[in-house]
Amino acid sequence: MNKIIFHIDVNSAFLSWEAAYRLHHLNGTVDLREIDAVVGGDMESRHGIILAKSLSAKRYGIRTGESIPEARQKCPHLLIVPPHYQLYDQCSHAFIALLQEYSPDVEQYSIDEAFVDMTGTSHLWGDPVTAANTIRERINRELGFTVNIGISVNKLLAKMASELRKPNLVHTLFPEEIPAKMWPLEVSELFFVGRATSKKLHTLGIQTIGDLAQANVSMLLSHLKSHGQTIWDYANGRDFSVVESVSPKNKGYGNSTNIAFDVTDAATASLVLLSLAESVGLRLRKDAVKSEVISIGIKSYDMQYSSHQKTLMSSTNITAEIHRAAMELFHELWDHRTPIRHLALHAGRLKDRADLRQLSLFDMADFPSPEVPRPAYEKLEKADIMADLIRQRYGIDALKRAAFLKDSRISHISGGISREKHSVDYSLLQID
């Protein structure tokens, strides 16, 4: 039996969800999807980028990821609405729950897209195109937003099919349709071909996906290494990955934050890294794992990025120990002059939390201060677990380290989606 895979992608997800909520719950009369509108971040806190755009705004050349000032230059009357991630989470859960009514094999690929293995379901829902249209129409009718659905025999081709033309459409891209539907497309439109790879391919005379599909594999390997083989396979429609209804375990935990001001001293950077260590440590403890490798990243005011990592003597999920390693890396990486606008922290090479700590002859330095010697790891871990429980019961701000009382500009737990973006006070906004 041939595989039948659907890729379902919400059209302009954040904007669509915001539009549907305003129309159906706030008595709005203007559909954001039909005017020059975008969902964008807060310029004052340096999150001023376009997150989603209407088709009308797209005609001005506005792109997802560009800054709000750039977008305003293209369209001065552009309507910018703030992001509301709590709403988006709710819409995403409803979206996935509906898809799970049609197949037990649903893989959520991102907040607004999913793969569904529909193999063998024709006796329930009809042929693939009929089933896809049933799902598409039901999502629009019951949830209030539109989707594109791509149909094929594997995940790659299904994803490429869903991108062919938008919005609110169903497309097929079966192997026999590849020469007519996929090969004429620009090579940059192929999944896994980014800007840098696209430029390299252009220098090799490869302009379309068809050119890539017919290119010499040895030549691609010599210029692009193993990535050349991967994209050649993709250009020929080859993909053997399966729909994974159970998410694989995390390989690492990371958080980063754009800072609302330039950081020019190590003490302030230490507070920011501590706030990131709090959030990363909390996630490690929640999933009962420890990290053996800590890395940090620094982005300067002129957008130059650098990173550094180290392997710990023993795996850990203790916030103070993660922070200590991060600061060691920070002092090695930063020149102590260049202003910083972005910091990132990542914990990798995960171990089960039962992994025992191996004490070393070199494990004699005071940690995290002369008053708390290194053998107090167990007490520190228990203190972190107790802090997690208190925050879980009484709220994230119920307990914070005293160090953060010195600087109110820095949240005591940072990273990921900032808390002000989780909800929106619509009473402060004009809803047309």
CATH assignment of 182-235?
A: 1.10.150.20
Query: Looking at residue 95, what DSSP letter applies?
Result: H
Is residue 41 a contact partner of residue 48, using CB atoms and an 8 Å limit? yes
Which among 52, 36, 27 is positioned nearest to 111, based on CA atoms? Answer: 52
Q: Quote the pLDDT of residue 366.
A: 47
Crossing angle between the packed helical segments 217-224 and 226-235, to the nearest 10 degrees:
140
In angstroms, the Cα distances linking 261 to 38, 69, 257, 258, 305 are: 25, 18, 11, 9, 17
Instruction: Give the SS3 label for residue 58.
Output: helix
Sheet of strand 289-300, all strands in order from the earlier edge strand to the far edge: 252-263, 340-352, 289-300, 305-316
* Token pair 């993709």 in the structure block, residue: 234
Averages of pLDDT over each 10 residues, the chain, 432 residues? 93 95 92 94 65 92 87 92 92 97 95 96 96 98 96 98 95 98 97 93 97 96 95 96 86 87 92 94 93 94 89 91 94 93 93 65 50 66 92 89 85 71 75 81
**Cα–Cα distance, 333 to 328 (Å, whole number):** 9
The predicted pLDDT at position 354 comes to 59
Please state whether beta strands 340-352 and 79-81 pair in parallel, antiparallel, or not at all (unpaired). unpaired
Q: How many CB atoms lie within 10 A of CB 131?
A: 23
| Tokens matching residue 178 | 């590849």
DSSP run (H or E) holding 115: strand 113-117
**DSSP state at residue 355:** P
Which DSSP state fits 208? Answer: B
C-alpha closest to that of 257 among 371, 145, 411, 117: 411
Alpha carbon distance 372, 370 (integer Å): 6
- Amino acid residing at 191: F
Q: How far apart are the C-alpha atoms of 77 and 426, rounded to whole Å? A: 21
- Which of 107, 113, 321, 381 does the annotation list as catalytic? 113
Which residues in the chain are classed under CATH 3.30.70.270?
A: 1-174
Rounded Cα distance between 169 and 156, Å, is 18
Burial (CB count <10 Å: 0-12, 13-18, 19+), residue 195: exposed
Radius of gyration of the CA atoms of the chain, in A = 25
Residue 113 designated active-site: yes
Query: Which residues make Cβ contacts (< 8 Å) with residue 268, sequence separation at least 6?
Result: 407, 410
SS3 percent helix, strand, coil of the chain, rounded to 5, is 40, 20, 35
- Contacts with 344 (C-beta within 8 Å, 6 or more apart), sequence order: 254, 255, 256, 257, 276, 296, 297, 298, 299, 307
Q: Domain 252-421 maps to which CATH number in 3.30.1490.100, 3.40.190.120, 3.40.50.300, 3.30.70.20?
A: 3.30.1490.100
pLDDT value, residue 379: 86
Residues of the chain with CATH 3.30.1490.100: 252-421
How many CB atoms neighbour CB 60 within 10 A?
Answer: 15
Map tokens 């925050």 to a residue: 391
Q: At what angle do helices 266-286 and 377-394 cross, to 10 degrees?
A: 80
All CATH 1.10.150.20 domain ranges in the chain, comma separated: 182-235
* Structure tokens belonging to residue 62: 């506005």
Class at the top of the CATH hierarchy for domain 1-174: alpha beta
